[in-house]
Chain A
Amino acid sequence: SQTIHQWPATLVQPVGSPLSLECTVEGTSNPNLYWYRQAAGRGLQLLFYSVGIGQISSEVPQNLSASRPQDRQFILSSKKLLLSDSGFYLCAWSVPPSNQPQHFGDGTRLSIL
């Protein structure tokens, strides 16, 4: 069966520090991968998605970036965190066609001090 792992579960970082959140999927090949940010009362905001290795699409301009160095690995990064980067970050995967659901990891709670 397929599983998705996100780490760390919680992270407290100072303003201006770098960030690296990792997501890996097991049990499927060539999945579509997604990064979301969830802010209270605002639902889920799609940040990045990827249809294959090295292919990244950005939905929202910001100081975050994403990379997909391997088929089932998706990384969210920042060189310098802002206070506004605080939130709950979720990774998800899906496979075509578009009527298939997305499957979510347990998320990372990021607090910026």
Chain B
Amino acid sequence: AQSVTQLGSHVSVSEGALVLLRCNYSSSVPPYLFWYVQYPNQGLQLLLKYTTGATLVKGINGFEAEFKKSETSFHLTKPSAHMSDAAEYFCAVTLNTGFQKLVFGTGTRLLVSP
């Protein structure tokens, strides 16, 4: 069965600094990978996804993630943090066969200080 590990329940950065949120997955077959963002008391919004093809995926709000099969990782990055990036971020995995059931990590709360 697939699983997702997000290292660090909280990450703090200064405005303008690099954002790096870590995600490692476990899957016996090639996975589909997603990053979602959640603002307080709201649902989840898709940031980006990796299915096949280019391993560097660009998403909304200046975020990108790189699929590294050898490291089973899909870390999320943004070159320069903005105050509006403060939110909770979830990595999720599903298999590329059959019905889509997402398995989510426990989330990382990003704190951005001025």
Contact = CB atoms under 8 A, between A and B. Distances in A.
| Size category, B interface | 20 to 34
A90 B38 CA distance: 12
Interface residues of B: mostly helix, strand, loop or mixed?
loop
A87 interface: no
Contact of B49 (A97, A101, A103, A105): A101
A88 B106 CA distance: 14
| Size category, A interface | 20 to 34
A86 to B, nearest CB: 15
B104 A43 contact: yes
A96 interface: yes
Given A99-B49, A101-B49, A94 B107 contact: no
A76 interface: no
Contact of A102 (B42, B100, B106): B100
B56 interface: no
Interface stretch (B14-22, B79-87, B90-98): B90-98
Given A32-B100, A98-B99, A99-B51, A90 B106 contact: no
B90 A44 contact: yes
Nearest to A91: B43
Contacts of A90: 43-44
A35 interface: no
A43 B100 contact: no
A104 B96 contact: no
Nearest to B100: A98
Interface string A47-72: 00101000000000000000000000
Contacts of B94: 98
A3 B53 CA distance: 29
Interface of A: 6, 32, 41-44, 46, 49, 51, 88, 90, 92, 94, 96-107, 109
